[in-house]
Amino acid sequence: MRVRGPVSHPSSFICILRAIFLLLRHWHCLVKPASCFEIILFSIILPVAFFMRVIFRIYGSVQGIGYRWFVRDAAAGLALTGLVRNLRDGSVEGEAQGGKKAIDALMLKLKTGHPLAVITKAEVNITEELAGEKDFVIDSSRQER
């Protein structure tokens, strides 16, 4: 009597080949957006590694031209949270939270994007993250700290 192992049996070998073929054939499904891997990667791992909050202040001709709405729309388009407000000295101050690349893209837009703004100076400082924030909002104007 001859004893066969699981791989020596022809049907087991075919099953293994079929499984490898299906894996290779459908590999693109494993890396498509919204796969379980990407959900875990983008919602848990990457935010911890590349998540930040900044305080920014933009000086120049930035009030009375819709600049706060421009900032809000740009930040919302980049999936950032935070706020923006006018200050009494004529500057605009805000806080933005999200991925580092999105923060960098927002800062570039703020310095160059609004057609009516004349930017003379821009300051950006990293600060502590704020938990529970869901949107980017226009805050009421306030006096400087």
SS (H, E, C) 16-83: HHHHHHHHHHCHHHHCCCCCHHHHHHHHHHHHHHHEEEEEEEEEEECCCCCHHHHHHHHHHHCCCEEE
- Spans in the chain with pLDDT lower than 70: 1-49, 141-145
Task: Give the total number of structural domains in the chain.
Answer: 2
Residues 28, 70, single domain; the answer is no
Q: Give the global pTM.
A: 0.64
Residues 34, 55, single domain; the answer is no
Residues 39, 72, single domain; the answer is no
Residues 21, 60, single domain; the answer is no
- What is the span of the domain harbouring residue 21? 10-45
10/16 Cα distance (integer angstroms): 10
- What is the share, in percent, of the chain residues with pLDDT greater than 70? 63
Query: Which positions are annotated as active-site residues?
Result: 68, 86
- What is the share, in percent, of the chain residues with pLDDT greater than 90? 51
1 part of a folded domain = no
66 part of a folded domain = yes
Residues 108, 57, single domain; the answer is yes
